[in-house]
Amino acid sequence: MEIIRPGPLATVQDQGRFGFRDRGVPVCGAMDRQALRLGNLLVGNCPGAASIEITLGGFVARFQEDAHFALTGAQTTARLNTVSFSAWRRYFARKGDTLQTGPPVSGTRTYLAVEGGIEVAPVMGSRSTFLKGGLGGLEGRALKQGDVLFLGAPAPRGSVDPILELPPELIPDYSENALLRVLPGAQIGRLSPRGRQTFFSSRYLVSARSDRMGSILCGPPVELTHGADIISDGAFPGAVQVPGNGQPVILGSDCQTTGGYVKAATVIDVDLPLAAQLGPGAAVRFALVSLDEARLAYLKNEYLIRRMYEKNLKAGERQ
């Protein structure tokens, strides 16, 4: 696949780089892991195969061999040559076909999954790009015009079969007014009663300074009892930090491995895709839930994916 135009930012990402945080290496990987996972399932890849994360559209590429592909994540206008098509479905491109995506209609990041996955050299067990560290992906950098990406061999049929159709329940609504469910953070006790009330009742807007390290929010400052600084401890994607200015920050896939700011909350797993798709100017609120509620939401999501597999297997047997 040849990159004709990468848009504002396009990188190779998979499910992330695990096992090296003790050495200061972030997890990285797709910001919206659910979208990457479902895109891979649509084209018959293993769930964690490397795909292209496209931020804010403007992406154009030419297929240099026949391949199935799918777009997931942010809803966007897309065309294969001159024919428009929708996301969250599998399509077939022939050698020489050109794919292009426009600005997202909702959400921020679109994922291009291609049959066989993007074949770049793994670094520390992952093909994900860590931009600030200059490793992984294609030479540790964002894609640029003229880059050529090789595709891996398609998975043997029967080992990972393409999904015929996604159930509507698995296609998210990336709202510009997101409600993120959170668990109490490790230092939630450092929020004053007024600060806690502010955090859970206020509407925050996403700053244009946000990136893959974190979404910087703007809104009523969260009052703390003993300042924002703590002895540095583990930081992770989904943690909501409150620095000295009282403006929350939702940590993203490229976040640091340790941090010295109060962690007020943690976004639950199934809502991380909603957080990942927040663009500049989007609004967000936080809702406190219990661990049981978070676990139930996670199990429901996994059940829907498992049921989709079972339906697909039965359909394949009938064929």
Q: Do 202 and 261 sit in the same domain of this protein?
A: yes
Residues facing 267 on adjacent strands: 182
pLDDT band, residue 155 (cuts 50/70/90): low
Is 295 inside a domain boundary? no
> What pLDDT shows up at residue 313?
59
- CA angle at residue 236 from 70 to 306, to 5 degrees? 40
Has residue 284 been placed in a domain? yes
Asked which of 141, 170, 199 is the last residue of a domain, the reply is: 170
User: Is residue 298 very low, low, confident or very high in pLDDT (cuts 50, 70, 90)?
Assistant: very high
Q: Please indicate whether residue 309 or residue 233 has the higher confidence score (pLDDT).
A: 233
**Claim to verify: residue 46 and residue 186 sit in the same structural domain:** no
The last residue of one of the domains, among 170, 199, 228, is 170
- DSSP designation for 188: G
Conformation bin of residue 91: beta by default, left when phi > 0, alpha when psi is -120 to 50: beta
Does residue 26 lie within any of the structural domains? Answer: yes
Residues contacting 151, CB < 8 A, separation 6+: 1, 65, 67, 114, 115, 116, 117, 118, 119
Mean pLDDT over 92-112 rounds to 96
Q: Do 202 and 164 fall into the same domain?
A: no
Return d(Cα 79, Cα 127) in angstroms, integer.
Answer: 27
Tell me: do 153 and 195 sit in the same domain: no
| Amino acid 168: pLDDT | 86
Predicted confidence at residue 312, as pLDDT, reads: 65
Q: What is the CATH number of the domain that holds 231?
A: 2.40.100.10
pLDDT at 216 over 60: yes
- Do the Cβ atoms of 31 and 109 come closer than 8 Å? yes
Q: Which two tokens stand for residue 298?
A: 């996670």
Give residue 309's pLDDT.
74
Print the domain residue range for 217. Answer: 177-288
Q: Is the pLDDT confidence value at 277 over 80?
A: yes
CB 12 within 8 A of CB 137: yes
Residues 62 and 184 in one domain: no
* Distance from C-alpha of 181 to C-alpha of 69, rounded to nearest angstrom: 32
Query: Residues, the chain, total?
Result: 319
Domain membership of residue 305 (yes or no) is no
How much of the chain is in helix, strand and coil states, percent to nearest 5? 20, 35, 45
Is the pLDDT confidence value at 317 over 60? no
Across residues 182-205, what is the average pLDDT? 97
Number of domains in the chain: 2
Q: Are residues 64 and 135 in the same domain?
A: yes
Residues 230 and 114 in one domain: no
Question: 229 in a domain, yes or no?
Answer: yes
Residue 285's SS3 state is strand
Pair type for strands 258-267 and 83-85: unpaired
The kind and range of the H/E element at 246 are none
Q: What is the pLDDT of residue 319?
A: 45
Q: Is residue 15 part of a domain?
A: yes
Query: Does one domain contain both 31 and 144?
Result: yes
The predicted-structure confidence for 301-310, as pLDDT tens digits, reads as follows 999 988 887 7
Q: Are residues 136 and 211 in the same domain?
A: no
**Distance in angstroms (rounded) separating the CA atoms of residues 215 and 28:** 15
Q: Is the confidence at residue 143, as pLDDT, over 50?
A: yes
| 310: phi then psi, degrees, rounded to nearest 5 | -65, -40
Packing angle of the helix pair 33-43, 291-318 (nearest 10 deg): 10
Asked if the model's pLDDT at residue 227 lies above 60, the reply is yes
Q: What is the pLDDT of residues 37-91, one digit of tens each?
A: 999 999 989 999 999 999 999 999 999 999 999 999 999 999 999 999 989 999 9
With bands split at pLDDT 50, 70 and 90, how would you rate the model's confidence at 198?
very high
